[in-house]
Chain A
Amino acid sequence: AQTVTQSQPEMSVQEAETVTLSCTYDTSENNYYLFWYKQPPSRQMILVIRQEAYKQQNATENRFSVNFQKAAKSFSLKISDSQLGDTAMYFCAFMITGNAGGTSYGKLTFGQGTILTVHP
């Protein structure tokens, strides 16, 4: 079974500062994707960033970057120059892909979420 763990229920940061959200996962699969999603008060799920497990280079999207440590099964999100609009719940997610067989292919599992508050 696949599990995703976010150990920080809540985090806060000052505007313009940098914050890192943690995520660990457990799987026996070799082919998978990892994602960070943002859920603002509107409750609409928004993709922040995506990482393919076969890629060694860490993904970046403007102010958002990840630290992907495959051996340690760790996938943290760094938000630089935090903005008030970054206030939201952030979810780490894991999707089985590639050559996985059986019923596990395509399964998309989420962590418990981290509530991030950016203070002015």
Chain B
Amino acid sequence: DGGITQSPKYLFRKEGQNVTLSCEQNLNHDAMYWYRQDPGQGLRLIYYSQIVNDFQKGDIAEGYSVSREKKESFPLTVTSAQKNPTAFYLCASSISIRGRESEAFFGQGTRLTVV
């Protein structure tokens, strides 16, 4: 089935360590997104990418990094520079053809906890 897969579902990290969250899609979508959600809060945009080898900072990019080497994959690295990384992270993708843009389709999310 087509969809977006995020892994792992739960992730624990020690303070000072970098950690990478995986996001893979087989929907042939050009655009991919990473969001952070804190308890009872909305989704805040971290990074987004409209095309391979290109990405843009969102509203809260500090302490995060991404890469887009393949159309299907958009991994997010939470670095030690991120002061409060404990949160729920959501990945999404969408069609990004001018005039034919689609809504975003979401993965199941990754819950990251710093211990």
Contact = CB atoms under 8 A, between A and B. Distances in A.
B43 to A, nearest CB: 4
Given A44-B106, A45-B92, A106 B41 contact: no
Contact of B48 (A35, A99, A107, A112): A107
Interface size class of B (residues with CB under 8 A): 20 to 34
B42 interface: yes
Nearest to B104: A108
B101 A106 contact: yes
A36 to B, nearest CB: 10
A110 B35 contact: yes
A30 to B, nearest CB: 14
B64 interface: no
A110 B43 contact: yes
A47 B90 CA distance: 15
A45 B98 contact: no
Interface residues of A, number: 25
A33 B101 contact: yes
B2 interface: no
Contact of B41 (A107, A109, A112): A112
A43 to B, nearest CB: 6
B26 interface: no
B109 A43 contact: yes
Interface of A: 6, 33, 35, 43-45, 47, 50, 91, 93, 95, 97-99, 103, 105-113, 115
19 contacts: A35-B103, A44-B109, A45-B92, A45-B104, A45-B106, A91-B42, A91-B43, A95-B94, A97-B101, A99-B98, A103-B56, A105-B50, A105-B98, A106-B101, A107-B48, A108-B104, A109-B59, A110-B43, A112-B41
